Amino acid sequence: MAVPWWGQCRRSGTSFTCTSLFETAWCFSRPSSASASCLGRTSRRSWSHSEGRQAELSTPIKPKGSIPDYCLCFLSRQFLGSSPRCYSCRNLHSDAKLKDPFTLAQKDLKSLYDDIRKELFVSKEELKFLCDYYFDGKGKAIRPMIVVLMARALNIHSNRSGDLLPGQRAIAMISEMIHTASLVHDDVIDGSDRRRGKTTINEIWGEKKAILAGDFILSAASMALARIGNITVVKVLSQVIEDLVRGEFMQLGSKENENERFKHYLEKTFKKTASLIANSCKAVSILVNSDPEVQEIAFQYGKNVGIAFQLVDDVLDFTSGASQLGKPSAADLRLGLATGPVLFACQQFPELHAMIMRRFSSKGDVDRAWEYVLQVRPMGTRRAVRSRTLRVTFHFLLQSDGVEQTNYLAQRYCQEAIRHISLLRPSAERDALIRLTEMVLARDK
């Protein structure tokens, strides 16, 4: 029986084997001279928080399933850069307390939604109300916060003051506008009735007006982008809109082959979620530093944090209630989408394969898939365990570790993000971006 590609790299000392489909691997073996030879471009100096010591990644908590015994091979060149890389994990950074990203970015984000509403000014009252609907200051504003912190960190790295350039501030605003417009359109495509804890635009005003509102927000973002006056920045952020559309088309399809299916999922995740963060980070770097390597650091941080963010979001669809998420739980299954937890669970429960291919459209598919991913089921075998006070009989339970493995995968992406951002000169903003990776992994909504 063929082993899925993400389980084909078994650890053996410091060597590893990877399928031909994927050229990049993350190797979880102990440090050695052999692993150092795999570093390639990553051998450049990494700054620590205080004394410029080498910043290395901490080992995450490993799941109980098969992944701890594996060297995960799951990313192609398009996800982790142009050259194969292998590195070992040690302790991360000497400072016990990192800067809080929300506190550092608060001043710059304070007027964000006011600035957006000014961009969306229009005389027609109803259109203005639709466009302002989600810009009420109650969103997480994760994307503009990352852009602001990245811009300040890059400015300091480039021997400037940490103050934002006007173009960098505009990119932070544009990133939130593009994101919100994509949510409005997504809700129309998915027929969603809840978003950010309130009724969606399409549910209140109908699909036609919702589509027009999303289009208007995108047009206002495009106008603001043009005013920056940098053709390279325009090209980089235009790529985001293309990726959003291509990602949505990818979401409409599925793959028969298990290996191709996971690759398809990760690529779709990049295009729909991570591309906006990655390219926005790259855009602010372009305005302050012409070094392609510095621009790549910004892009790679945004990409890896973005993918990790979506992986955690896919987990929360199974583990958090609707009141926490601000939208219905199990929404992805009901839309026919097989996300990370389901794809990992399919390794243990092949019966999920048929459900995935028919996009959970048969009666009872959603409930059964939910059980396979999340719910424990008695296997009928019993074992007696005696304690000092009582004798307890336990069932052996069979449970998918799809959620656990998806969380572990998100940890690996966050480690990669930290590895890249640690190449920048020490600053409070850089440290806050490192702290942000912990917050991405720990979030519950």
Give tens-digit pLDDT for 268-324: 999 999 999 999 999 999 999 999 999 999 999 999 999 999 999 999 988 886 455
Looking at the domain assignment, is residue 125 inside a domain? yes
Give yes or no for residue 376 having a pLDDT over 80: no
Instruction: Flag whether 47 is in a domain.
Output: no
- Does an H or E element contain 392, and which? strand 391-398
Confidence of residue 198 (pLDDT cuts 50, 70, 90): confident
The separation between the first and the last C-alpha atoms of the chain, rounded to the nearest angstrom, is 39
Residues 118, 222, 302, 189, CA torsion sign: positive
Between 73 and 9, the higher pLDDT residue: 73
Report the chain's mean pLDDT, rounded to a whole number.
Answer: 76
In angstroms, the CA 445 to CA 440 distance is 10
Query: How does residue 184 score in pLDDT terms, banded at 50, 70 and 90?
Result: very high
The answer as to whether 28 is a domain residue is no
Rounded distance, CA 255 to CA 63, Å? 27
Q: How far apart are CA 146 and CA 176, in angstroms?
A: 11
Task: Identify the CATH number of the domain in which residue 140 sits.
Answer: 1.10.600.10
Arithmetic mean of pLDDT, 62-88: 38
User: Is 47's pLDDT higher than 70?
Assistant: no
24 or 3: which carries more pLDDT confidence?
A: 3
Distance CA 148, CA 165 (A): 10
The pLDDT of residue 142 is: 93
pLDDT at 422: 97
pLDDT at 273: 96
**Predicted pLDDT of residue 437:** 96
> Which residue did the predictor score with more confidence, 356 or 89?
356
Say what the pTM is. 0.77
- Residue 253 is assigned to a structural domain of this protein: yes
The CB-based long-range contact list for 59-63 (8 Å cut-off, 24+ gap) reads: 59/28, 59/89, 59/90, 60/89, 60/408, 60/411, 60/412, 60/415, 61/408, 61/411, 62/408, 63/401, 63/404, 63/405, 63/407, 63/408
Rounded CA-CA distance 76/25 in Å is: 8
pLDDT beyond 60 at 433:
yes
Report whether pLDDT(408) > 60.
Answer: yes
- Using H for helix, E for strand and C for coil, what is the string for 86-97? CCCCCCCCCCCC
Residue 401: inside a domain: yes
User: For residue 340, is it within any domain?
Assistant: yes
CA distance 401 to 205: 41
Say what the pLDDT of residue 295 is: 97
More confident residue, 8 or 347: 347
Looking at residue 327, its pLDDT comes to 53
Tokens of 417: 């993000």
Q: Which residue has the tokens 């080992």?
A: 59
The domain in which residue 174 lies consists of: 101-376+396-442
User: How many separate domains does the chain show?
Assistant: 1
Q: Is residue 93 part of a domain?
A: no
Residue 230 pLDDT class (50, 70, 90 cuts)? very high
- Domain-located, residue 23: no
Pick the most confident of 12-26, 87-101, 194-208, 374-388: 194-208
